[in-house]
Structure 1
Amino acid sequence: MSVKLEKNQSGIAGEFYVAGELSRFGYNVTVTFGNTKSVDLLIQKDQAVYAIQVKSIQATRSICWNIDKTKVFPDHYYVLVNLHVDHPERKPEFFILKGSETLTLFKDTPKAGNKRAYLDYKKLLQMSFYQNRWEVFGQPSEIIL
């Protein structure tokens, strides 16, 4: 069964998958709605609060995530999700980047100059360091896996 999601649907699905994972790890999660487009989720655990932007791609064969570099903040976190809608038996994949890493890893789109940027899925997949890196939101001993 092959499904093609609308852009809005894939974004919402990614946000809720990330919210679910973080809730599973004991974080209080707030999904933002409305005009807070640079922050999709706010999470809190103990005294720490984190702002998260979620970017989703739909399929295993997807090429890349796109981002507006002018809206990347060094103190925010970016969770990149591959939903694998073309393989429903596979769970979504998560890659967690700090804002400064996002600015470094995303490459400028030639036609859009330094505003629009992309990150190749296959390239990020080879950098396993970022995959399921939930510990950036707390010490690994605090996260129950």
Structure 2
Amino acid sequence: MDAVIKADRKSSQESGTGSEFLILSNLYRLGVNAFLSFGNTKQVDIIIKAKNGLALTVDVKSVRDYSSIPVTNVRPRENHYIVVVVYNKKFSDLTVIPDYFIIPSLQIDDLQEIYKSEKRLLKGKLADFKNQWHYLMC
């Protein structure tokens, strides 16, 4: 069976929820003790219980294509991270691994720009954060 399946809908909720589970799966594969947060208006998508007893929180952002990532609801704080999942126009192609950017939320203000009258992240500024899973492994 072909791994590329055309999706009929382009719901941001669909890609957002799928991305949260994808990141949770990656964290499990890395041996990280993590849990999903549930709710419609949540500020935290994943909670990580570190070995030292510390709790880290993660906000997952995803885009199917790529022009920019909205970050209007991100609140910078200690021990909080943003994981950006960029599907590069290949959301429905299960043979393609998306790009992952793991960003400490305290750095988000330095990375965002106003794009179409909204605070957004542009991929060019995120290169140093690509695949930086070590931020979430404590």
TM-score (structure 1 length as normaliser): 0.78
2:84 maps to which of 59, 80, 100: 80
Out of 11, 23, 29, the position equivalent to 2:34 is 29
Query: How many residues align structurally?
Result: 129
Equivalence for 1:119: 121
Give the Cα–Cα distance (whole angstroms) in 1 for the partners of residues 136 and 67 of structure 2: 28
> Which runs of 5 or more residues in structure 2 are unaligned?
none
Is contact 1:26-1:45 (8 Å) kept?
Answer: no
Describe the SS at the equivalent of 1:22: helix
Q: Is the 8 A contact 1:56 1:81 kept in 2?
A: yes
TM-score calculated relative to the size of structure 2 = 0.81
Alpha-carbon distance, 1:57 to partner: 0.5
CA contact (8 A) 1:81 1:92 kept: yes
Cα RMSD for the two superposed structures:
2.1
DSSP 3-state at the match of 1:104: helix
Q: 2:50 aligns with which of 45, 48, 72?
A: 45
State the AA in 2 paired with 1:20.
S
Distance between the aligned counterparts of 1:73 and 1:94, measured in 2? 19
C-alpha displacement of 1:45: 2.7
Equivalence map 1:32-111=2 (5 Å): 32-34=37-39, 37-47=42-52, 48-59=54-65, 62-68=66-72, 71-75=74-78, 76-83=80-87, 84-85=90-91, 87-109=93-115, 111=117
How far is the alpha carbon of 1:35 from its aligned partner? 5.2
Larger helix share, 1 or 2: 1
Distance in 2 separating the partners of 1:87 and 1:117: 29
Alpha-carbon distance between aligned partners in 2 of 1:16 and 1:80, rounded to the nearest angstrom: 13
